[in-house]
Amino acid sequence: MPPDGDFAERARARQGKLTKPPGSLGRLEEIAVRLAAIQRTDTPKTRPRAIVLFAGDHGVTEEGVSPYPSEVTGQMIANFHAGGAAINALSRVADAELSVVDVGTLSNPAVRCGTRNFVREPAMTEEEMDAAIEVGRSEVRRLEGVRILGLGEMGIGNTTAASAMTAALTGRSVAAVTGRGTGVDGPGLLRKVDVIERALALHSPKTPRAILASVGGLEIAALVGVCLEAAEGGVAILVDGFITTAAFAVAWKLEPAVKDYAFFSHVSVEPGHEALHQLMDVRPLLDLELRLGEGTGAALAIPILDAAVAAHNEMATFESASVSDKAR
Amino acid sequence: MPPDGDFAERARARQGKLTKPPGSLGRLEEIAVRLAAIQRTDTPKTRPRAIVLFAGDHGVTEEGVSPYPSEVTGQMIANFHAGGAAINALSRVADAELSVVDVGTLSNPAVRCGTRNFVREPAMTEEEMDAAIEVGRSEVRRLEGVRILGLGEMGIGNTTAASAMTAALTGRSVAAVTGRGTGVDGPGLLRKVDVIERALALHSPKTPRAILASVGGLEIAALVGVCLEAAEGGVAILVDGFITTAAFAVAWKLEPAVKDYAFFSHVSVEPGHEALHQLMDVRPLLDLELRLGEGTGAALAIPILDAAVAAHNEMATFESASVSDKAR
C-alpha cells in the first residue's frame, strides 16, 4: 500500500500557511509531509514508538575480524535487559519502548546458535534465513499500533557481514566499504578485508537473497523482515547505522517501495554506510560520528520527527494568528 | 571562571569504561565531557533548560531588504505569547521553558522603537547598545538555576544586520555572506547586498562594539549580553542560527572564553552562518536546512544534549555489567 499522495499534497499546502517563511523549517517540513502520506492523515503522529533491536552471533568471528569475542553479544543482551547499555539510556530520552530479540546467539539457538563462518560456507541456509526474516516480521505484527519503528542491532562480527553485503550490493571494492567496526586495529582491518574478499569469491552471490544468506546474519535477516512487514503495514521506520542500512538495502532490492516508509537517521563513520546511502539515493538526518549501532542513531532522530510533527500539527496559520504573510 | 579540566578528565575516563567500544558514541561523548567541565560535576545535567528569545525591529527595513514589513515582528511576538509559532511547538517537544523578551519594536520602546536605519546613521548609540546588552544579562540572572540556555531571536530585517556584522567580523565580501533571509527575491537580494555595502562604507566599524552599534540590532545586542553573562555564571549556551551566531561572535571577540560554554546547534542555509562557524573554528551539531531562527535549531539540539548526558550518567561500565572489554 503506497503512501497517499493526496495527504502529502494537503500537508504541503498546510506547511505553506503556517506562521513561518515558506520552506524555512527545511527538512522538518519534508518529514511532516511524508509522515502524513504514510499514515494517511492530516495530523501525523510519532507515538507510540519503539526501538526493535535484533541480536545474533557470527561464525566469521573465528577469523579474528573483531577485537571482541562472540560472548560479548550475549553479555550485551543481558546488559540491554538490565538497562545499562547506550540504547537503554537513549530510548529513555526518546520515550521509546525498547524491544530486544535474540535471533540466534552462542547460547540461544533461536534460529541457530549464530551463523556459520561464511569464509568457508554460506552463513545461513535459505530456510534459516526465512525463519530469521519471519522473526522480524512477527515482531512488527506484535507491535501493531506503533507509529515509528526504530531499527537496532547487536552482534559481534556484524560489520564484517554488512561490509560483505555492501560490496556485493554496490559493486564497490571490499576495501572501500570496510571499516574498523568496534575498533579493530590496522592488521585486523587488513584481515577483515581479506576474509570478506575470500567469502565473496567463494559464494559470488548475485541476488539480494543470495547475498543475505551467504554473507549476512540472523539479526540482519530479521531486520529485512521488519522493513518488509512495516512497509506492508504502512508503518514508518527509522533506519539506524551501517548494519541496519545494509538490511534495509536488501529489503529495498526485494521491494523498492519500502523506501517510501523509511527515514534514515544518521551516517556513521563506517565507510560502507555512506556507500549504501548513495546506492539508494537517500540522505540521513544526522552526522554525529556514531559507530555503535544498537539503534542509538534511530533513538537520537526520534525527537526530530517529534519536532516536525509538532510544528505541523500545532502551529498557527498566518490567518488564524493575524500575521501578515504578504510582501509590502 | 573557565570550565574545570579535572572534571573533563574524569568524564573522559568514565566514557572509556562504559559498555560500548571507546569513542563509538562520537560527538555525544565530547558533549558529555564538556558539560561535566562546564558544570564542574561528574553527573552533568540538562534540566531545567530554557529558550530565551529576544525580539527587535530594524530601521533598515525601510530599504526593502525583507519581503515582510516590520509590523510582523510585533505580530510574531503576539504569536509566541499565544503559543502558535514554530518555537512554541519545538520548545514543547524539547521540554524547554520559552521566554520572549521584546528589546525594542515599533510599538514597544523597551530600549527604543527599533534601531535606526543603519544605511544612514548608526543603528544604536553606545548607550542604547549597552542598555540592550543589559537586557540580555538580566534575563540570564532571572533564569538562575537553568542548566542549558538556548538562544533565539525574531526581528524582521535582522539577517541584513547579521550579514553586515559577518562581513565586518570575517573580512569576507558582503555578497559572500548575504542570503535571502525570510525569502527576499533576486532583485531584493541585490538591494540587500548594496545596502549592507553602503552601510559598511559609511561606518567602517573596526571593533566588535563598533560593529554591533553601527550595524547590529537591539535583540542582537541582548544576545551578546546573554553570552557574556552565561559564561560568567558557568551556564552552557546553545547557539541557534545565523543571527544568534553573529551575536555570539561579537561576544567571543570581546571575551574569547565564552566559546568554552557554547554548543552550536545547527548550520542554516544562510551563507554567512558557515562563515562565522569557520571564523571561530566550531562545528554545529545539525544540518537540517533550517532558516527560521526563533531558537528552533537550539530546541532541536536539546535532545542530543539530553542523550549525551543520559548515556554518560546512566550507562553501565564493562565491570559492573560483566561485559568483556578486552580483545581475545
* Torsion from C-alpha of A298, B264, B175, B162, nearest 10 degrees: 130
Alpha-carbon distance A310 to nearest alpha carbon in chain B (angstroms)? 6
Q: Measured at the alpha carbon of residue A268, what is the angle toward residues A265 and A271, in degrees to the nearest 5?
A: 130
Helices A242-254, A158-170: axis angle to 10 degrees equals 40
Alpha-carbon distance A72 to nearest alpha carbon in chain B (angstroms)? 6
Say whether pLDDT at B328 is over 60.
no
Residue A328's pLDDT band, with cuts at 50, 70 and 90, is very low
Amino acid, single-letter form, for residue A17:
K
pLDDT tens digits for range A250-305: 999 999 999 999 999 999 999 999 999 999 999 999 999 999 999 999 999 999 99
Annotated catalytic residues of A are: 294
Asked whether residue A252 is domain-assigned, the answer is yes
- φ, ψ at B154 (rounded to 5°): -150, 135
The pLDDT value given to residue B325: 82
- Rounded to two decimals, what is the model's pTM? 0.97
Asked whether residue B185 is domain-assigned, the answer is yes
Which residues constitute the domain of residue B200? 49-303
pLDDT tens digits for range B100-127: 999 999 999 999 999 999 999 999 999 9
Residue A1's pLDDT band, with cuts at 50, 70 and 90, is low
Rounded CA separation B162/B270 (Å): 10
Asked whether residue B230 is domain-assigned, the answer is yes
Alpha-carbon distance B54 to nearest alpha carbon in chain A (angstroms)? 17
> CB–CB of B155/B58 below 8 Å?
yes
- Give the domain CATH number at B181: 3.40.50.10210
Looking at chain B from residue 47 to 76, which residues have their Cβ under 8 Å from any Cβ of chain A?
Answer: 64, 67-69, 71-72, 75-76
For residue B324, the SS3 value is coil
Annotated catalytic residues of B are: 294
Q: Distance of CA A228 to CAs A54, A137, A218, B220, Å?
A: 15, 7, 16, 50
Asked whether residue B2 is domain-assigned, the answer is no
* Contacts with A93 from chain B: Cβ below 8 Å: 303, 306-307, 310
Residue B326's pLDDT band, with cuts at 50, 70 and 90, is low
Say whether pLDDT at B327 is over 70.
no
- φ, ψ at B25 (rounded to 5°): -90, 10
Among residues of chain B, what percentage have pLDDT more than 70? 99
* Contacts with A186 from chain B: Cβ below 8 Å: none
Asked whether residue B44 is domain-assigned, the answer is no
pLDDT tens digits for range B36-62: 999 999 999 999 999 999 999 999 999
Say whether pLDDT at A180 is over 60.
yes
pLDDT tens digits for range B55-93: 999 999 999 999 999 999 999 999 999 999 999 999 999
**Interchain CB contact of A159 with B (< 8 Å):** no
pLDDT tens digits for range B136-181: 999 999 999 999 999 999 999 999 999 999 999 999 999 999 999 9
> CB–CB of B174/B167 below 8 Å?
yes
* Mean of pLDDT over chain B: 97
- Give the position of cell 530601521: B59
A75 to B316: CB separation less than 8 angstroms, yes or no: no
Interface confidence: ipTM more than 0.90: yes
Rounded CA separation B264/B90 (Å): 17
For residue B38, the SS3 value is helix
Residue A89 has its nearest CB partner, among B90, B303, B310, at B310
The pLDDT value given to residue B110: 97
Domain count, chain B: 1
Rounded CA separation A148/B233 (Å): 40
The pLDDT value given to residue A325: 82
Asked whether residue A112 is domain-assigned, the answer is yes
Say whether pLDDT at A327 is over 70.
no
